[in-house]
Structure 1
Amino acid sequence: MKVNEEPGWISDLNEEELEFVKYFILSSGSIKKLTGIYSTSYPTLRKQLDKLIQKIRVGERKENDKVIRLIQQLEREGKIDQDIADTVVSEYGKSLNCLLTE
């Protein structure tokens, strides 16, 4: 990863999730401190953190997935059209998102 390049998993996070990560860092990783910021219970915040961890792991898996890299390589080589490559990668990514549990 280049210095000015944003990791792919960050772009997978919505605004609320990014804010949670920000406050988690600013609270030195203390869920107990976050309970005061969010005015909610420790178990609720722990569950939210666990969901974020899962989402990041799935995002990293997508970035390193051999199938996605193969499709992107085929597109770069001109063997498949960019729209097709984007559609296949998007649909495959959705199937990986099914790994997220509630």
Structure 2
Amino acid sequence: MKNNDRPKWMMNLEKEDFEFVKNFVINSGSLKALTKYYEVSYPTVRNRLNSVIERIKSAKDNEESSLVNYIRKLAIEEKLDLNDAKQLLEIYNHEKESE
């Protein structure tokens, strides 16, 4: 499959994300099995899964503005506090609805 044939959500994932998803599928979606595979705690695996989920969600095909995607990306990469990101998105959505 060529890069331009891949769904947009796949383009948002890093190599490590694909590796995590592959291991998630191989382990039948068991987070408990992933904790053993990665030798980390359950919350660590859950946080990693949440990060991948957020990356996939942030790639909604042209449904969201680039600003929304950028704020989500900063939050996922922990460059912006999650509560601050939520507040910014709420302000943005409120202003957008007021237009």
TM-score bracket for the superposition, by shorter chain length: 0.5 to 0.7
How does the TM-score come out when normalised to structure 2? 0.63
Matched AA of 2:54: Q
Tell me the equivalent position of 1:72.
none
Which residue of structure 2 aligns with residue 16 of structure 1?
16
Secondary structure at the aligned position of 2:52 is classed as helix
Hey, what does 2:47 align to over in structure 1? 47
| CA distance, structure 2, for counterparts of residue 7 and residue 39 of structure 1 | 31
Name structure 2 gaps, 5 residues minimum.
79-99
TM-score (norm 1): 0.61
**Could you tell me which amino acid in structure 2 is paired with residue 38 of structure 1?**
Y
* Structure 1 residue 97: Cα displacement: 2.6
CA distance in 2, matches of 1:97, 1:40: 29
Partner of 2:28: 28
- Structure 1 residues 47, 64: closer, same or farther in 2, change over 3 A? same
**Once superposed, what is the RMSD of the aligned Cα atoms?**
1.9
Of all paired residues, the percent bearing the same amino acid is: 37
Runs of 4+ residues deviating >6 angstroms: none
